[in-house]
Amino acid sequence: MSRIAIVGSCITRDLWPIRGGGAERLLYISRTSLPSLFSVPVKGFSPAKTPPGDLHNHEHGALVADLTKTALARLLAFRPTHVIFDFIDDRFDLVSIGDSLVLRSGEMMRSGYLTRREFRRHRVVPRLSGACDRLWRDSAAEFAALVRASTLSRAHLILHSARWATHHRDAEGAVRPIDGPEILGGDPADIWSYNDLLGRQEAHFEAMMPPMARIDAGELRLSDTDHRWGLSPFHYVPEYYDEVRRQLAALGLVDAFTGLPAEPSAPAA
């Protein structure tokens, strides 16, 4: 039986329904970045007992894991047979707080945690900056070393090649350019700059890591106006997910997709 860990984003998580169909066997590590994974916990941070703001439990859980640095221990304890990586969450900047780095995700901003006393001297490390790129490359080397020195060395490693779509399919089936993409609901984003970053990250990661399989459904990378989570450059048409599932099945993950229902039974991502 496959035990699949995802170190990535919704573009991989959406291959499974939210409940059932094998999703209960997944370990999903999201809303983080390699520099954050290998950083130290935020000094003095204690999470709220209930999710702050409008966060759902799973959103708050991912945020707390990024702040307290529990994800790598969970990954090792899970002893996955397969680990799938994608880097779409690397669209978010990093936040530096003392000796710690965390992701400036939408969940972080919505939580209100950055207004707390322990975050008062934080500074933002822009994702497209040279400093962020150096931090990412250094942590990629750390991840590769961890894989080689741990039980992860026995897992099948898979890179889900990630890019932002430049076009979307509307409700009438017409294909149109995506205009004015944003990050965090207000920060303008240039699709080509982030796609260039993703290409460089993937090339560097593959060069550092042990041999990895690669899945790529780039010819079907088209955003869907009717996507369950809304229109976004990385919320794709159904054909995209079908093709990625086909490629994963060809790698031996047939049992992971057995009995998938057509639609998820709960919202959120």
Q: Is the pLDDT of residue 263 over 70?
A: no
Question: Residue type for 256, please?
Answer: A
Q: Is the pLDDT of residue 59 over 70?
A: yes
What was the pLDDT predicted at 195? 98
Can you tell me whether residue 177 is helix, strand or coil? strand
What was the pLDDT predicted at 22? 57
Can you tell me whether residue 156 is helix, strand or coil? strand
What pTM did the predictor assign? 0.93
266 confidence band (pLDDT: 50, 70, 90): very low
Contact in structure between 7 and 75 (CB atoms under 8 Å): yes
Q: Is the pLDDT of residue 163 over 60?
A: yes
The mean per-residue pLDDT over the stretch 2-18 comes to 89
What does each C-alpha distance from 48 to 36, 64, 70, 105, 232 come to in angstroms? Answer: 20, 9, 16, 17, 30
Q: For the segment 105-133, what is each residue's pLDDT rounded down to a tens digit?
A: 999 999 999 999 999 999 999 999 999 99
The phi-psi region of residue 241 (left if phi > 0; otherwise alpha if psi is between -120 and 50; otherwise beta) is alpha
Contact in structure between 177 and 166 (CB atoms under 8 Å): yes
The mean per-residue pLDDT over the stretch 239-262 comes to 82
